[in-house]
Chains A and B, each alone.
Chain A
Amino acid sequence: MAFTKKVTLKSSDGELFIIDRAVALQSRTIQYVLEDTNPVDAIIPVPAVDARTLSKVLEYCKKHLIDLNTDFEDYSKWDKDFVDAEVWMLYDLIMAADYLHIPPLIDLICDKIASMFKGQTPDKIREIFNIDNDFSKEEEEDFKKKSGWAFK
């Protein structure tokens, strides 16, 4: 059986990405697909991820594969720039990383999101992340009562 060097991924909106097998193997999900079916020059569909997000994820995978001799400093700076994105982009990225199962990328995005919470009031967080307030007035009062100091 021929050992394929290239893998083709197909995003949800139909775009094809031809990448090195080693790059694709960073995703546990794709790794399992390749091990199970071992498709020869076949196209692996990634139905949960659109092209824009997939290209970004693959950018991360390539960076973390190719430059193995890049030192840690460079990586952390690159990572920092990588996640310096819009909030909706972060959402797509973390969902994609979760679907494709790329642990280092999940960690990276979680760190980024957590840092965005620092020192923000619940109202401000809802504004940033575009979340509706689904608590009743009574529940809000209860928060204030129990640990009001945290909300001032």
Chain B
Amino acid sequence: MDIITTEWNELPKELLELIFKRLQYVQDMLRFGAVCRPWSLVASEVTQLFKPGSPILLLPPVNNNEAYRLFNLSKSKGVEIQLEGTCGAWCCNSWNGWLLTINCTPPYAINFLDLMGGVQIQLPPAMAFEHPPPEISSSAPSNPICIFMAICCNWAELAFCKPGDRRWTTLECRVPYKDIIYYKDNFYAVGQSGLVQCEIGEELKVIPFALRVKLEALEHAYLVESSGDLLQVIREVEWEDVDAAHPPRYYTSTFEPARLHAVSFMVIKEYHQPSLHILTLVPDSGSMAWRYVGSLFGSRWNFSSVFQGTIREVEPGCHTIKSHGAQVARDHKHDWLILLILVMIAIILFVFIHPFYRFVGKDMMNDLKYPLKDNTVPGWAVPMYAVLLPIVIFILFYLRRRDVYDLHHSILGLLFSVLITVVITEAIKDAVGRPRPDFFWRCFPDGKDVYDQWGDVICHGKDSVIREGHKSFPSGHTSGSFAGLGFLSLYLSGKIQAFDRKGHVAKLCIVFLPLLAASLVGVSRVDDYWHHWQDVFAGGLLGLVVAFFCYLQFFPPPYDNNGSGPYAYFKMLEELRANRQPVHSVNVQDAQGMEVVLPQQPSQNNGFMALSLDHDATDSLDQMEAGRR
């Protein structure tokens, strides 16, 4: 046979493209591009796709015989990748280009696969762990003295091993752990009882760590590292009954990260895969490096869930008296000014304005002949329990929540509630001039009643006492108490989420406690014969109405979803969120359009989850990596 020299490198471009389209794996595509110049032109698009720095998702195969898929978030394109030795195994975690796979069948061999160099490290099998496989974390695997830590599944205790060990060594701590992470030279594990730190030294030490949490039954905790911060994310699971035939459907209601400054997740569709890993590609010494950002959605919880929206922030940038107190007060300076004017009006009404002296005839005296008694609740006590007590409670809440808006607005609202009530009450008192039940003895201290030609009383008692005797309607004690304590009751019902539709009726006891106190004050006024029951009734109603108005000025209604804080707080949160985004998007140019809908997997009708990866995650991961070296 004669030798024919073929010119493969001169194959027409359209034919080359046809061939290139048929390549299945990234490896092959990149190698294709490295064969010769005309070929590299054809492959340039894919080479661009895997430029260092663009965030990549590693999508696990749906069936065992399928390939892993790498998905470039910023370009919305994906390709398959060949991972040898992953057949029959599943990827449960990855760090810095290493992929951890666990075989699905006994003895559950654990493999550590280097995506860069193809190196494999065999870890002791997970036989002792029982299925499902454990959470495993590791210090930098490329480090020769690396340590692997795992959560064993039978007791969920911690275990560790080094490459080459034949078995896992269990640590003596019988606390069920949920997640484990390697972060800045230490391991951290989170469990039902809180977060612990595992120090790597001569021997591994487990010490409790500051961030303590108590998890409820349907809460799961995860540890995620992002932008150099250690995040503790609590996933709250709720369930609903579909019907009798099917098991209840579990879904994730909220994610609560304990520190949220870097990553925001926005999951917009259902996702049924057991694990999903976010990898970022960054320039590294001579190879493509893969950085692990987080696997919130692994590994033990195969959940199908729909969550939408951004994560609720638990600790926003704290707005305290120091940082924002002056600003808030300045914003409300006019309100404080009006408050002062209200105080002055109240004093004027109280001291200078003479009440109307209503006609009191002889036959009316039957109802006004009650004995003179001292106040059970003295006048000075009303501001104590109606103003100072609520303020103390507000301050207690502030100490816990560190939210200056809550403190300022509750105090301002309370003062307004009380002062408006006082002004209205005093004004009505003076205008109505209704005699008190003990008016007879105020007017005629000696018991001798004298009337003028029209039958009106001619008093010979002390002037100030008589004047006070004409201020029966409405009851000032009662209206003030209801204004202050009613406001407190509203505030408390918002704070303890009394109307959260979960039927915790006992919370109402707390809500009604201040109202009961106010009612007892009202009753004491009748018992002291200082007021008729109508006065007390009207006063209570007046105080309550004003309290409602003032509370709703600053706070959402207590039954609102956001009822736990003032409007200003949620507005501040929103602004915080809005301000944060542009800062991040300038960091990586090709990270625009980060929210993508992943393509539909052909074999299953599963939806996909799309993640919005925080853009500066790569940056800080770089720094982190640099610091580690």
Contact = CB atoms under 8 A, between A and B. Distances in A.
Contacts of B448: none
Interface in B552-597: none
Interface string A132-152: 111100001001111111111
A94 interface: yes
Given A106-B15, A110-B15, A114-B22, A151 B6 contact: no
Contacts of B23: 114, 117-118
Given A117-B23, A125-B31, A148 B116 contact: yes
Contact of B6 (A87, A110, A146): A87
Given A88-B4, A106-B18, A147-B50, A135 B28 contact: no
B141 to A, nearest CB: 15
Interface in A84-127: 87-88, 91-92, 94, 98, 106-107, 110-111, 113-115, 117-122, 125-126
A109 B332 CA distance: 78
Contacts of B370: none
A131 interface: yes
B19 A147 contact: no
Interface residues of A, number: 39
Contact of A145 (B30, B115, B286): B286
A130 interface: yes
Nearest to B82: A119
A75 interface: no
Contacts of B115: 149
**Chain A interface helix/strand/loop/mixed:** helix
B5 interface: yes
A129 B31 CA distance: 14
B37 A134 contact: yes
A131 B35 contact: yes
B15 A131 contact: no
Given A110-B15, A148-B116, A150-B26, A88 B36 contact: no
Nearest to A143: B34
A57 B26 CA distance: 33
Interface in A24-42: none
Interface residues of B, number: 41
A132 B36 contact: yes
B24 interface: yes
Contact of A147 (B5, B15, B18, B47): B47
Contacts, number: 109
B288 A110 contact: no
Contacts of B503: none
A113 B34 contact: no
Interface string B17-54: 01110111111101111111100100000010011100
A48 to B, nearest CB: 12
Contacts of B15: 94, 98, 106, 110
B9 interface: yes
Contacts of B287: 147-149
Given A87-B6, A111-B22, A150 B36 contact: no
Of A92, A130, A135, A150, the most chain B CB neighbours within 10 A belong to A150
Contacts of A117: 19, 23, 28, 31-32
Nearest to A115: B22
B118 interface: yes
Contacts of B24: 118
Contacts of B9: 131-132, 134
Contacts of A151: 30-31, 34
Contacts of A152: 116-118
Interface of A: 87-88, 91-92, 94, 98, 106-107, 110-111, 113-115, 117-122, 125-126, 129-135, 140, 143-152
The 9 A-B residue pairs with the shortest CB-CB distance in the complex, in nearest-first order? A114-B22, A150-B30, A91-B6, A149-B116, A148-B287, A129-B8, A122-B34, A88-B6, A110-B18
Given A111-B22, A126-B36, A129-B8, 9 more contacts: A87-B6, A92-B4, A106-B15, A110-B19, A114-B19, A119-B82, A148-B286, A150-B26, A151-B31
Interface of B: 4-9, 11-12, 15, 18-20, 22-28, 30-37, 40, 47, 50-52, 82, 97, 115-118, 286-288
19 contacts: A87-B8, A94-B11, A110-B18, A113-B19, A113-B22, A114-B22, A121-B31, A126-B36, A130-B5, A131-B35, A135-B34, A135-B36, A135-B40, A140-B34, A144-B286, A146-B52, A149-B118, A151-B31, A152-B116
